Amino acid sequence: MDTKTKILLVEDSAFDARIVKDIFNEPALKDFILFQVPNLSEAFSFLKQQTCQLILLDLTLPDGIGLDTFLKVQKAQPLIPIVVLTRVADENLALEALDAGAQDYLVKGAVDAQTLKRSIRYAIERKRLLEQLRLYAEKLEQQVNQRTEQLQQTISQLEIEINKRNATEQQLRKVIEELKTTQSQLIQAEKMETIGRLASGIAHEVKNPLAIILQATEYLEKKIPIYEKDITVVLNDLKEATMRADAIIKGVLDFSSISKLDNQPVQINQPIDKALLLLKHQLDKFHINVEKDIPIDLPLTLIDVNKMTQVFINLFENSIHAMPEGGRLEIKVRLIKAEKLTSHLIGLRRQDYFRPQDEVLVITVEDSGCGIPEQNLSKVFDPFFTTKRNQGGTGLGLAVVNNIIASHKGLISIRNKPIEQGKGVIVEIALKVHQKEVYDEGQKKDSNS
């Protein structure tokens, strides 16, 4: 009995129901078993108790009229196929029901056993396929959603990866830049060393004849009577030219011979005082007041005293040249935290000269001279840049200073005084404080080896 296909007929007209029941009694429909209810509410309570494989639905019921009847049943039982029963006059309504999802429609009075059987079988099968299709579609949609999500994850991972690579590429570029800089520095250093060797050789050979020319000129000066004006002028020119040639040789020699330093821990006032002593004559001649402000309790600094003396000579000479009518030369030394200075070489990178927390010796040289035209400030450290070429300037003075400071891993900056303080130039040099422990350890190592 259970193998029979259950059909629920929802039909209020006893007459019409009778006709349907009669058809089901025919042998062609012996595999079907028919239940009948007269209205929707009874249909729903029937379906709560048991299931059926198909509903034959009359669209004109006491509690349901027209298409609405169909929609209610379909909504309550979406999985059960529904075949609509209509009268001949209601065929349009039946077509609407088909559109809305009914499996078939049968016109009352025009149904025989065979038609009914076929309609029911098709309806059940169609509904089953539709349901399967719906499940497939659902599954497919689920899969598509899943895939979309996976793709989106992959995309965002790729984006992260791309960002990482971009960062790495940037880092690589920076490293390459640094390497290039190092390479050109190495080439530069090698060039300088070659020039240095060449220059000191030439200097020695040239200075001997210069010494002879100078002595000869001075000899002739004494021998020529003072009234021989032209000759006196010529001799003076000769002497000045000789001194100029000497200055240039000295400049080239200075510029090219800074590769090796003879560093000693000393007080910073040592090279400053030595430079002042050597320039005493010029300072007095041009009435320049020297004001020193150097605390006595400053820590030592590790420097090549001769080279650092040269730094101060070159700086002081520049100041003297800037004050032909006299003026003031102030030299000040302070111990300052590196972070208070501005330089691209203060930081935590390996190539930085100072850590921000380092204590640094800052030497300030300040004059009351004519100052430097703003457009020249960026060029003053360039080799051979000079505004005094006709007065014997080599353009190497500040280039030498810059090289020496850099070889000590120190910093140098040059600027004009702020307008409210009057004219003049301020040069600021920052040098490392000598770390005693490190030095002693180095000494110990040396004596052990």
104 vs 254, beta carbon nearer another protein:
254
215 binds another protein (CB under 8 A): yes
**Per-residue interface string for the shown chain with another protein, residues 15-34, x marking contact by CB under 8 A:** --------------------
Stretch that binds another protein, among 5-13, 184-192, 270-278, 373-381 (CB under 8 A): 270-278
Residue type at position 242? T
The DSSP bridge partners found for residue 330 are: 291, 366
282 binds another protein (CB under 8 A): no
Residue of 20, 94, 124, 313 that binds another protein (CB under 8 A) = 313
Residue of 6, 108, 250, 434 that binds another protein (CB under 8 A) = 250
Residues 6+ apart with CB under 8 A from 35: 6, 7, 8, 9, 46, 52
402 binds another protein (CB under 8 A): no
State the DSSP string of 202-226: HHHHHHHHHHHHHHHHHHHHHHS-T
For the record, the structure tokens of 393 come out as 């300037």
238 binds another protein (CB under 8 A): no
75 vs 281, beta carbon nearer another protein:
281
306 binds another protein (CB under 8 A): yes
What is the distance between the alpha carbons of residues 104 and 360, in angstroms, rounded to a whole number?
Answer: 98
What is the distance between the alpha carbons of residues 82 and 94, in angstroms, rounded to a whole number?
Answer: 12
Residue type at position 349? R
310 binds another protein (CB under 8 A): yes
245 vs 370, beta carbon nearer another protein:
245
67 vs 216, beta carbon nearer another protein:
216
Residues 6+ apart with CB under 8 A from 394: 247, 248, 251, 252, 384, 386
- CB neighbours (10 Å) of residue 413? 14
Residues 6+ apart with CB under 8 A from 195: 252, 256
192 vs 213, beta carbon nearer another protein:
213
236 binds another protein (CB under 8 A): no
Of 384, 431, 380, 425, residue with least CA distance to 404: 431
Residue of 6, 121, 207, 409 that binds another protein (CB under 8 A) = 207
Q: How far is the CB of 212 from another protein (least distance, A)?
A: 5
Residues 53-112 close enough to bind another protein by CB under 8 A: none
Nearest 5°: CA angle at 199, between 198 and 204? 105
Q: How far is the CB of 200 from another protein (least distance, A)?
A: 8
Residues in contact with another protein by CB under 8 A are 203-204, 207-208, 210-216, 218-219, 222, 242, 246, 250, 253-254, 274-275, 277-278, 306, 309-310, 313
